[in-house]
Amino acid sequence: MVALPANRRRRVRRPSAREAGTALLFVLPFLVLFALFRFGPAIAGVVLGFTDYTIGGDTAFVGLENFRRLVDDPTFWSALRVTVVFTALSVPLSMLASLGMALLTRRAFRGVKLFRSVFFLPVVTSLVLAGVIFTWVFSEGGPWSQAMGALGLPQGSWLADSVLVIPAVVLVSVWSRFGYGMLILLARLQDIPAELEEAALTDGASAWQRFRYVTLPQLRPALFFVAIIETTVAVQVFDMIYVMTSGGPVRASYSLVYLLYDQGFKYFDLGYASAIGVALFVMTIVVALIQRLTLGREEK
């Protein structure tokens, strides 16, 4: 290709200050509404965490009293333990399922689009509907109980067992979420230059070595993104627990968001509920920073 002379190259004109100001005026109403409805409730939630507020009642500033209640509340620590266990189980399993399905469907073969659509279908399925169906699946005498009996394992309802209820909800969570991560990782896999794997294959690298030293480093940014999304969803788990277990049995599946829901919308203690939300937000940020230091760090 022959380069065009400098005087014939297309010049990109930068907008003037007046044009930029006019454009900002058109965008400003949307920005104001976005900031009002996006950040306004978040700021209000933080402020309410330092107050004693109930619907229809007076609002009194109580400082750190709500957070002291959190420290002394055994229900909060029990809900925190449930949330941590659920997150620690669901996030790695969901990421492994997403990565495995993305690797299986990355190559073109007959029916690959159908498989991708089927794997992604649970993501767009109503979680309430899925919760109702899986409540029957895990019930005593349901398909899961019968399958356990066929394998010689103890039968019974996992949702009625304080030890097995979290694994049951985790399985439903992984089923409903792995398709989203699969789509993100699949897009990144298809963007990796084929020459990299071909060069490694020429050098005699095995399939595991190609994955470990060629594919996985290229997937690091996508894996970090999926980890952040899955962690955020996991620590906010509520709908499946509300439909499937209602926090039981004996609060064995009583998560932080369920505690927040009870305090705010059952007992109308919105100040304490807001303090729980602030604690949940801080926990999410800390986990995200840890993931940033592990998955998100730049390769040198």
Domain-wise residue ranges, the chain:
73-294
Helix (H, G, I), strand (E, B) or coil at 106: coil
Query: Is the Cβ–Cβ distance between 181 and 95 less than 8 Å?
Result: yes
51: β partners: 61
Q: What letter represents residue 266's amino acid?
A: K
CA atoms within 13 A on the CB side of 137: 13
Cα–Cα distance, 127 to 164 (Å, whole number): 20
DSSP H helix total and E strand total for the chain: 14, 2
- State the pLDDT at residue 87: 93
Cα–Cα distance, 218 to 214 (Å, whole number): 7
- For domain 73-294, the question of CATH label 1.10.3720.10 is answered with yes
- State the pLDDT at residue 73: 92
pLDDT tens per residue, range 106-145: 887 888 888 888 999 999 988 889 999 999 999 888 898 8
Task: Enter the pTM of the model.
Answer: 0.85
- State the pLDDT at residue 107: 82
pLDDT in tens, the chain (300 residues): 445 555 555 566 677 778 778 888 888 989 899 888 888 888 988 898 998 887 777 788 888 999 999 999 999 999 999 999 999 999 999 999 999 999 998 887 888 888 888 999 999 988 889 999 999 999 888 898 888 888 888 888 889 989 999 999 999 999 999 999 999 999 999 888 888 888 888 888 888 888 888 888 889 889 989 999 999 999 999 999 999 999 988 899 999 999 999 998 888 888 999 999 999 999 888 888 888 887 756 554
| Count of Cβ atoms closer than 10 Å to residue 286 Cβ | 10
Q: Residue 247 contacts by C-beta under 8 Å, 6 or more apart in sequence?
A: 241, 253, 254, 255, 258
Query: Is the Cβ–Cβ distance between 261 and 236 less than 8 Å?
Result: no
